[in-house]
Amino acid sequence: MQLREMDEQDCLAFLAGHTRGHLACQGDQYPYIVPIHYAYEKDRIFIFSMPGLKVDLLRANAPACVQVEEFGENRTWKSVLVQGTSDELTDTPARHDERIHAWSLLQKQPFWWEPGSLALNSESEGSPAPSIFFGISIDMVSGRQVV
């Protein structure tokens, strides 16, 4: 078994071939990390959420990190880390096309709205919460693999 660095092209191809990972953002005292479904296109990652701590933190602090992993047979694995800048695709006429594009990429995946749409112990039947989309521009990508 050997640990190897992945080059940028391999990292981006890996991101394009997956749809689930973990988003880390800056909390007040500690980092905050949550599972996400994402869509990757042209050096950008798109995510969906409902209102909550993740959205509050991304709005307050643009730096974000996404980690995607895969475990294979015989203890092999790959892990890619994206460091970038988040940008909310607000529900405004100026960002309408970007929001629709993010939605169109995400909706190609089964259950793309989970876990971002689930609320803890929520059974209220009030008006639905707004859908929130973010784009994360990739500033740096790195990866490692065991082969």
Residue 86, helix vs strand vs coil: strand
CATH code where residue 22 lies: 2.30.110.10
pLDDT of residue 9: 97
The pLDDT tens digits of the residues spanning 102-126 come to 999 998 887 666 665 555 445 555 5
Q: Which domain covers residue 90, as residue numbers?
A: 3-119+127-146
The pLDDT tens digits of the residues spanning 42-72 come to 899 999 998 999 999 999 999 999 999 999 9
Predicted confidence (pLDDT) at residue 87 exceeds the cutoff of 80: yes
54 burial level (CB within 10 Å; 0-12, 13-18, 19+): buried
Nearest Cα residue to 87 out of 11, 123, 138: 138
pLDDT of residue 126: 57
Q: Of residues 50 and 143, which shows the higher confidence score?
A: 143
Domain count, the chain: 1
Q: Are strands 3-6 and 20-26 parallel, antiparallel or unpaired?
A: unpaired
The pLDDT tens digits of the residues spanning 10-50 come to 999 999 999 999 999 999 899 999 999 999 998 999 999 98
pTM of the model: 0.86
Predicted confidence (pLDDT) at residue 131 exceeds the cutoff of 60: yes
The pLDDT tens digits of the residues spanning 93-105 come to 999 999 999 999 9
Q: Of residues 116 and 146, which shows the higher confidence score?
A: 146
